[in-house]
Amino acid sequence: MPTAATTAPLPVIGYVRVSTDKQDIGPEVQVAELHAAAARRGWVLEIRREDAASAKSLKGRPVLARVLDDLKMGRAHALAVSKLDRLSRSVADFAGMLETAGQQQWALICLDLDVDTTTVTGAAMAHVTVTFAEMERRRIGERTRAALTKISPEARDRMRRGGRPVNMPESTANRIVELRASGLTLQGVCDLLNTEGVPTARGGQWRPATVSKTLERLQRA
């Protein structure tokens, strides 16, 4: 007598992103956290790893592109990351991915934020996270504008023209002022600039002394 066909459960794809920044969380830690969550929640877990990828945007990440295609085509049930910044540091990208997940009927799970759109509470947490992240982005913008008013018109003009004494693109100078105005320590500013791949004037790694001297030059100019 034939038995009824059974359908295997769709996998949860655990996305692991590995950048070139030594300060980043390592792949072994990410994989361990995802496997621990899978054991607790009964997931059928499939790990996908992306090497040397930036989280500034979703572009230029072929592994993630294939993951999203599998989710769209219904070959997986959910996308899980150990920490949100493994997926994206862009509020707009995260919000867009939440919307896409809802439209295509797959789930998004971020273990560090307790975001799990398979549950009502987790879905609500996802939208709260986006709301507060957007609010913080606007507050940083306000602090940045306030900080820039302390820089002389001559210095701002040189920044716009890419000239000295800051010896760096206007976008880099503005980014340093923005990060410092957000309340980050000098080391925190360095860590984020290095993670984002922003080079110093000599193409090296950012250090607290370099950031401090840059801010001092901007104030004096």
Residue 197 is which amino acid? G
**Torsion angles phi and psi, residue 195, rounded to 5:** -65, -40
Q: How far is CA 23 from the centre of its chain?
A: 14
Show which residues are catalytic: 19
Give the residue from 159, 162, 171 showing the smallest Cα distance to 198. 171
